[in-house]
Amino acid sequence: MAALVRKAVFPVGGLGTRFLPATKALPKEMLPIVDKPLIHYAVDEARAAGIEEFIFVTGKGKSAIEDHFDHASDLDAMLRSRGKAEAADELNSWVPAPGKVAYTRQQEPLGLGHAVWCARHFIGDEPFAVLLPDDIFLADVPCLKQMVDAYSGRGGMVAAETITGPDISNYGVLDVAKDQGSVVSVRGLVEKPSPADAPSDLAVVGRYIMTPKVFEYLDRKETGAGGEIQLTDALSWLAVEEEFAGIRIDGERFDCGTQAGYLRANVAFALQRDDLRDGLKSYIRTLDLGA
Ligand code: G1P
């Protein structure tokens, strides 16, 4: 049976000013967690969920992302000439096949909804995923795979996480119609509400599945929170038109859009590595961590 969700959109046009000066000449999506760029984690996760076509919505200064997902013949030849065929094969193993990756530019920074709208002609008439590379997950079953496995093939679905306190205002928040445990049915979403106005404590975290019906709303170019064209507003409209679910993700999420989350992710992912774990643990044990 053909996979229900075959295409994924990666909005990578953002400036990453929080990480200056690192992001002056480097796309923020290329910042490494241990030794792999953030965007690479999102692409691996998409592939593990059955995604076959990868659509990047880019902007100025993002060509390093295209180079990263391209065949590098010079590097390949150099590694082979030095007897490192295995390393060369590894580098080739995750490069998308010709024609399976597309790049389009979001010409103006008009918001996440606008970025997704820029990918509309690549999507055609089938449900698709959106992955925000700032959020990465440590999970036995990759986040998007958990979603695809639970997706009915109709309507939309978002990854959700409970956020307590004022931080809820940094997220899209679910208006829950029925809470069925790991999956909740959703009647609407609100982008970055004040804590008092948040319809629940369930926030959207960086992974989405939606039908192309969402473009009917995005075509209108209506602006929302922050004067931007918000994906959350389009999904709130979709939740009225079609069935819509949130799924509590089994695993740990790292918000690599902040320095603190980025640092935590580096530690957590390094501790997963057999070649780094012991050394890192011994270093941490030597630290005087205070109270
Ligand atoms: C975006 C979305 C928001 C979502 C968040 C998840 O916000 O607009 O709805 O909850 O990603 O990380 P941003 O973090 O780009 O401000």
- For the stretch 146-157, pLDDT in tens is 999 999 888 999
**Mean pLDDT for the stretch of residues 268-286:** 96
- Residue 173 Cα, ligand 1 centroid: separation in angstroms? 10
More confident residue, 290 or 68: 68
What pLDDT, on the 0 to 100 scale, is given for residue 153? 85
Residue with CA nearest ligand 1 atom 10: 171
**Using one digit for the tens of pLDDT, what is the confidence trace for 216-266?**
999 999 999 999 999 999 999 999 999 999 999 999 999 999 999 999 999
**Mean pLDDT for the stretch of residues 135-139:** 98
Check if the beta carbon of residue 192 is closer than 8 Å to that of residue 226: yes
Give Cα 57 distance to the centre of its chain.
12
- Residue 30 Cα, ligand 1 centroid: separation in angstroms? 19
- Residue 92 Cα, ligand 1 centroid: separation in angstroms? 32
Pocket of ligand 1 (CB under 6 A): 112, 132, 134-135, 171-172, 191, 203-206, 232, 257
**Using one digit for the tens of pLDDT, what is the confidence trace for 19-70?**
999 999 999 999 999 999 999 999 999 999 999 999 999 999 999 999 999 9
What pLDDT, on the 0 to 100 scale, is given for residue 1? 46
Q: What is the pTM of this model?
A: 0.96
Residue with CA nearest ligand 1 atom 15: 112
How distant, in Å, are the alpha carbons of 60, 131, 192 from that of 63?
8, 19, 31
**Using one digit for the tens of pLDDT, what is the confidence trace for 177-227?**
999 899 999 999 999 999 999 999 999 999 999 999 999 999 999 999 999
Cα(96)–Cα(47) distance, integer angstroms: 10
What pLDDT, on the 0 to 100 scale, is given for residue 3? 64
Element housing 285 (H / E): helix 277-286
**Mean pLDDT for the stretch of residues 11-26:** 94
Mean pLDDT of the chain: 95
Give Cα 278 distance to the centre of its chain.
30
- Residue 141 Cα, ligand 1 centroid: separation in angstroms? 22
Mutate to test the pocket of ligand 1, among 28, 171, 190, 249 (most ligand atoms within 8 A of CB): 171
